[in-house]
């Protein structure tokens, strides 16, 4: 009887686990590829696992829509000229970028990912 209850509890918990990490597979793959590209000198198999760990950690902290918004703004800070200036000068975007980068740093530390390798 206890075994049946345990199985039932596990089956009921599965949808909750799926909802907690609702990042589409494509976005997870792109994150891992970008992470691996930032560490070209590392062992590929090891970095695949570390980068997958990092995106899982981000998924645990952020809703997918927030991830898209924050990661896009973070990447857009490198755009030159007036368009990039808007992102760099908007305080609300800067706060989001700071939060995203702090979450990334936390995930990288938890997953044993060092700083990106200079190219």
3-state secondary structure the chain: CHHHHHHHHHHHHHHHHHHHCCCCHHHHHHHHHHHHHCCCCCCHHHHHHHHHHHHHHHHHHCCHHHHHHHHHHHHHCCCCHHHHHHHHHCHHHHHHHHHHHHHHHHHHHHCCCCCCCCC
**Which pLDDT tens digits describe the chain residue by residue (119 residues)?**
555 554 555 555 545 444 556 899 999 999 999 999 999 999 999 999 999 999 999 999 999 999 999 999 999 999 998 888 888 888 999 999 999 999 999 999 999 999 998 76
0.75 cut: is pTM over it? yes
The angle at the Cα of 83, spanning 35 to 74, to the nearest 5 degrees, equals 25
């Amino acid at each position: 009887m206890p075994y049946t209850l345990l199985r039932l509890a596990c089956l009921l918990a599965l949808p909750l686990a799926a909802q907690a990490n609702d990042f589409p597979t494509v976005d997870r793959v792109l994150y891992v590829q970008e992470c691996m590209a930032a560490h070209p000198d590392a062992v590929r198999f090891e970095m695949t696992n570390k980068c997958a760990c990092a995106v899982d950690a981000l998924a645990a902290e952020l809703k997918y829509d927030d991830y898209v918004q924050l990661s896009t703004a973070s990447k857009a800070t490198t755009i030159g000229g007036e368009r990039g200036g808007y992102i760099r000068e908007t305080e609300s975007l800067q706060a989001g970028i700071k939060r995203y980068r702090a979450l990334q740093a936390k995930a990288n530390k938890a997953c044993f990912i060092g700083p990106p390798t200079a190219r």
